[in-house]
Amino acid sequence: MGNHVHLTGIKEMTAEKIESILHRADHWARKPGEQSGALRGRFVANLFFEPSTRTRFSFEVAEKRLGAHVLNFAAEASSTTKGETIYDTLHTLEAMGVEAAVIRTRHDGLVQHLSDQVGMCLINAGDGTNEHPTQCLLDLLTMKQRFDRIDGLRVAIIGDIRHSRVAGSHLHALPRLGAELLLAGPPSMMPSQDLLPAGVRQVELEQAVEEADVVMMLRVQLERHTHSLFTNADTYHQAYGLTLERAARMKPEAVIMHPAPVNRGVEIHSDLVESEKSLITAQVSNGVAVRMAVLEYVLNGGEKSWESCLQTANF
C-alpha cells in the first residue's frame, strides 16, 4: 500500500542493501553517546505481542536517540483483548499520524502480510519461527567489527535451529554475504535439509565447534515446543551445549555469540557468557546502532538521506 518502505525480513534483501544498512549502523556504533534529530517530531509505535526485554528497549533507545516520539503498546491493556485485530490497531495508529510500527508477533509471515495493507512503515521485530531481521543484522555487524569481513568466515549455528527466527534470517544472510554456514544440534531441532539454501551444511556438533570462526549458540525455544524434547537441562548441556571442554577445542581466534536471552548451563556454560571469547555484550550494544540505521532506512529513505542527517548532539 503506497510507497512505504518496510523491513519484514532478510530473505528478500540484496547483499548490497544489507551492506548499506551495516555501514550506517557502524557509523552509529562508533558514536554511542550521541543522538540525532533525524526523526524529530515523528511518531513510532512499538507493538510487542510477545514478551521481550532487550529487543523492545533496544528499539526504544534507538528511536529516542533519533528524536522520535515513542508509543509503547501493552497487549494485555489494549483493545486486542476485546477482539481487535492487529490490522485494526495499525489502521487506528495510522489515522492518528503514527508513521511506523515495530511489531513482534507469534504468527509467521504476519508482518509481511500486513505491509501490503497499511499506509505506514513496518519493522519486523520477530515473527513466530520465521525471521528476526534486526537481530540478524546486529549479529552481522558484530562479526564484521571483529573480523573486518564476513565473506569467507565459517559460522556455526548450534542448537534449536528449527524453532529459531534468528536462524531463519541467517540462513539467507550469511550465504548471501559469502560466509560458510554450518548447522548442528539435536536431530529433532534441525530443519529439513530440503528447506536449506544451497551450501548450508548440517554437521556433527564437535566438527562445528572445532572448525568455526564464529560459534553461535541458540536458546532452546521451550515456549515454541509442543512436547518435551529432552529430559533435563544438564542432559541437554552435556549432549549439545557449549561446555568448557568443547570451548577449549575452539580455534584460538574463534568467538562465541548468542542472540540471548541465555539459558546458563543449558546451551552454554555460565563461565563462557562473559569470557574473553564472548561477543554477547557487544551484540547487545550493536542492537541499538542497527535499529537506528533500520529506522532511518524505512522512515527517511535510507542512504539517500544519511549524508544530510549527520548533525548530532550529545544526550
Query: What mean pLDDT is reported for the chain?
Result: 91
CB neighbour class for 225 (10 Å; exposed up to 12, middle 13-18, buried from 19) = middle
C-alpha to C-alpha distance for 42 and 37, rounded to whole angstroms: 10
Query: How far is CA 76 from each of CA 82, 84, 118, 241, 272, rounded to the nearest angstrom?
Result: 10, 12, 23, 35, 36
pLDDT higher than 60, residue 309: no
Among 4, 5, 259, 9, residue whose Cα is nearest residue 109:
9
Q: Judge residue 32's burial from the number of C-beta atoms within 10 Å of its C-beta, 0-12 exposed, 13-18 middle, 19 or more buried.
A: exposed
Q: Give dist(CA 108, CA 86) in Å, integer.
A: 14
Residue 229 confidence (pLDDT) = 58
Region 102-118 average pLDDT: 96
pLDDT tens, residue by residue, 27-53: 999 999 888 999 999 999 999 999 889
pLDDT at 80: 72
Measured between alpha carbons, how far is 174 from 136 in angstroms, rounded to an integer? 9
C-alpha cell at 225: 515446543
Res 314: pLDDT:
34
| Closest among 204, 144, 196 to 170, alpha carbons compared | 196
Burial class of residue 130 in the structure, from the number of CB atoms within 10 Å of its CB (0-12 exposed, 13-18 middle, 19+ buried): buried
Q: Is 186 helix (H, G, I), strand (E, B) or coil?
A: coil
Residue 305 in this model has a pLDDT that exceeds 70: no
Task: Tell me what the mean pLDDT of segment 86-92 comes to.
Answer: 94
> With the CA atoms of 225, 227, 233 and 237 taken in that order, what torsion angle do they form, in degrees rounded to the nearest 10?
-70
Handedness of CA 154, 157, 162, 165 (dihedral sign): negative
> Which stretch of 79-83, 117-121, 224-228, 269-273 has the lowest confidence by average pLDDT?
224-228
Quote the pLDDT of residue 248: 98
Are 304 and 13 in contact by the 8 Å Cβ rule? The answer is no
| pLDDT of the residue at 281 | 97
Q: What percent of the chain has pLDDT over 70?
A: 90
pLDDT category, 2, cuts 50, 70, 90? low
Q: What is the residue whose three cell numbers read 549455528?
A: 157
Give Cα 203 to chain centroid, integer Å: 24
For 136, other C-beta atoms within 10 Å of its C-beta total 26
Mean pLDDT, rounded, for 101-123: 96
Q: Would you list the DSSP string of 282-300? A: HHHHHHHHHHHHHHHHHHH
**Residue linked to cell 556438533:** 205
Question: Can you say whether the dihedral through the CA atoms of 297, 38, 146, 161 is positive or negative?
Answer: negative
